[in-house]
Amino acid sequence: MYSIQILQGDITRLEFDAIVNAANERLNGGDGVDGAIHLAAGPGLLQECLALGGCPTGEARLTKGYSLKAKYVIHTVGPVWFEESDHESRLLENCYRNSLQLAVEHDIRTIAFPAISTGAYGFPPGPAARIAMGTTREFLESGNHSMEVTFVCFDEGSLRHYEAQI
């Protein structure tokens, strides 16, 4: 059995086995949710990230959570939106699939995702929410995984896009 929930809030404050970071390919921190996660986790997170040697777009890497309430952080790199293209959508699907696969491999039962690529990377929030929910459902159903997945929306607009997918 799995469950999917949606809530509005700050992902850095929540207590899950893992939270997902919308990282960049160098895994060297940045703005947005990435910056907020590094700030809340403390400098150990950056050190571990830099030792990983980067992460290609669509893939995911796992680190400890350091000072976060979450035990782990799963860093995934969303695509930068240039124009409506299947390629970018496939890459965003890969972010969710690869993050969930890592969670399964590490026996993570509760996981929270931000709206990957919808900030600085410019992916339109409606299609991004559809990909997030659709890919997650498909992954959990096809593998018969028991996991609690939470989509954490920072603002109300983002929340509405997720609610439209229920």
- Burial class from Cβ neighbours inside 10 Å (0-12, 13-18, 19+) for residue 83 reads exposed
- Is 135 a binder of ligand ADP (CB under 6 A)? no
Among 102, 103, 116, 132, which residue sits at the site for ligand ADP (rule: CB under 6 A)?
116
119 binds ligand ADP (CB under 6 A): yes
- Kindly state whether residue 150 participates in binding ligand ADP, applying the rule CB under 6 A: no
Q: What are phi and psi of 41, to 5 degrees?
A: -80, -30
- Please say which residue, 141 or 155, places its beta carbon nearer to ligand ADP: 155
> In this complex, which beta carbon is closest to ligand ADP, that of residue 94 or of residue 117?
117
Q: Which residue in the list 17, 31, 34, 86 is annotated as catalytic? A: 34
In this chain, which of 2, 4, 26, 32 binds ligand ADP, going by CB under 6 A? 32
Task: Answer yes or no whether residue 14 interacts with ligand ADP by CB under 6 A.
Answer: no
52, 71, 99, 110 from 141: Cα distances, Å: 31, 25, 16, 16
Among positions 45-104, residues that touch ligand ADP (CB under 6 A) are 78
DSSP string, 69-136: SSSEEEEEEPPPP-SS-HHHHHHHHHHHHHHHHHHHHTT--EEEE--TTSSTT---HHHHHHHHHHHH
Are the beta carbons of 33 and 154 closer than 8 angstroms?
Answer: yes
Active site residue 34: yes
Q: For residue 71, which of 109, 119, 34, 128 has the smallest C-alpha distance? A: 109
Given candidates 16, 18, 27, 34, which one binds ligand ADP under the rule CB under 6 A? 34
Residues lying near ligand ADP in the complex (CB under 6 A): 10-12, 22, 32-34, 36, 78, 114-121, 152, 154-155, 158
Q: Which residues are part of the catalytic machinery? A: 34
